[in-house]
A = this chain, B = another copy of it.
Amino acid sequence: MTSEALKTARDMIGEPDSRAGIPTPALVLDLDAFERNVARMAEHCRLNGLGLRPHAKTHKSVSIARAQIAAGALGVCCAKLGEAEAMAAGGIESILITSPVVTKQGLGRLVALNAKLPDLMVVVDNPENARALAAAAAEGKRKLKVLVDLDVGLHRTGIRPGEEATDLAELLDAAEYLELRGLQAYAGHLMHIHDFAERREKSLAAMKVLGEQRDALKAKGMCCDIVSGGGTGSYNIDPEANVLTELQGGSYIFMDKQYHDVALGNGASFPFETSLFVQMSVVSNNTKSLATTDAGFKSFSTDAEPPKLLSGAPEGAGYFFFGDEQGGILLPEGARLPLGSVLTAMTPHCDPTVNLYDAYHVVRGDVLVDVWPIEARGRSA
């Protein structure tokens, strides 16, 4: 997998293959831990007779999508049309777009993508959008596969379960150029509940609603071959409900601080390891018990708690945001970090952190083995 980008990186570093020499701040992916995560989730789904459609919104990388598919995933989810365009350009063939596409220019791009992609699906949560999609697909003269997006409690997207959802499914089913394939639901509000018993109870309740909707569609003779949903937080709960046909987890490949904390309260097993790190360097150290690094608001997402320091600083040191470009390291009394010291932190929330970088610096142990571009970075439109 040695790439042009790796050659460029090696030229820039001047010390080929050295993890410590990567220009900082950098997003570093531990390939061993990543591969174990990919394999473990694939195996989990296989053992439970469940398909796996990992969410590419987490990694935005064609290389990672390929690794997931090579391990058995059916394809990927994309949050946005632009993300799907980037994945398709990289050769990923089976894509589910998990947010509604509603704007006029969006519909045009969706139809154009559908003409190129053998296995594109998009979710729909509104009759008005269903009619617009039907018209756009008819104009493109090519069938577009759709799933009804069901609101199981998050109220972000999705149609209310019951009669409204069934009516929407009938509308989609009747459209000549739409092909109803089933349902999607995402209980994003339940994924980070720390207590496992509570997370399990609420997740199973959401799955029950989804299962009833599936039965209602089937009772009316409509196709419901695909029931897509779930996430890293419910990966070991969803199989028990026996409703999903495919699991949508994203973060399991990286295990950020948010999910790391969930795992601690998980009770049951949570076999994924932190594989993604931000590497940074000390650039100033003139103040007692303080060091300044080169990673601030532009290098870590700030929607969650601050990053957790893992290496490069003494026990008891902590990171704080020190503006757009810098981080502060508060050190134990008397401690000092030399200029150029390399520190590693766990990402606070992986998805928006990844979205700040153009590439993963991929390492095995202390060796830089590849650089993977983040093709869909910034493709939020």
Contact = CB atoms under 8 A, between A and B. Distances in A.
Given A21-B105, A102-B281, A355-B356, A380 B128 contact: no
A23 B103 contact: yes
A57 B324 contact: yes
Interface stretch (A87-95, A156-164, A260-268): A156-164
Interface string A72-87: 0000000110100000
B294 A80 contact: yes
Nearest to A287: B155
Contact of A295 (B339, B340, B352, B380): B380
Given A294-B80, A352-B297, A380-B298, A23 B105 contact: yes
Contact of A339 (B24, B82, B102): B102
Contacts of A358: 378
Contacts of A57: 324-325
Given A100-B284, A284-B157, A339-B126, A381 B26 contact: yes
Nearest to A158: B286
Interface stretch (A38-46, A222-230, A269-277, A299-307): A299-307
A326 B286 contact: no
A155 to B, nearest CB: 5
B158 A283 contact: no
Contacts of A157: 283-284, 286, 292, 326
Nearest to A23: B381
Interface string A203-218: 0000000000000000
Given A125-B286, A126-B339, A378 B352 contact: no
How many copies of this chain are found per oligomer? 2
A136 to B, nearest CB: 12
Contacts of A105: 12-15, 21, 23
A151 B288 CA distance: 13
Contact of A283 (B100, B284, B299, B356): B100
A283 B99 contact: yes
Nearest to A321: B303
A364 B70 CA distance: 49
Contacts of A158: 284, 286
B156 A292 contact: yes
B326 A156 contact: yes
A179 interface: no
Contacts of A25: 380-381
7 contacts: A23-B109, A102-B283, A102-B339, A128-B339, A157-B326, A158-B286, A294-B380
Interface of A: 12-15, 21, 23-26, 57, 79-80, 82, 99-106, 108-109, 125-126, 128-129, 151, 155-160, 188, 281-287, 290, 292, 294-295, 297-299, 301-303, 321-326, 328, 339-340, 349, 351-352, 355-358, 377-378, 380-381
Given A156-B322, A295-B380, 19 more contacts: A12-B105, A14-B105, A79-B325, A99-B325, A100-B283, A102-B283, A102-B340, A103-B281, A126-B339, A157-B283, A157-B286, A188-B323, A294-B381, A297-B301, A298-B351, A301-B302, A302-B302, A324-B351, A358-B378
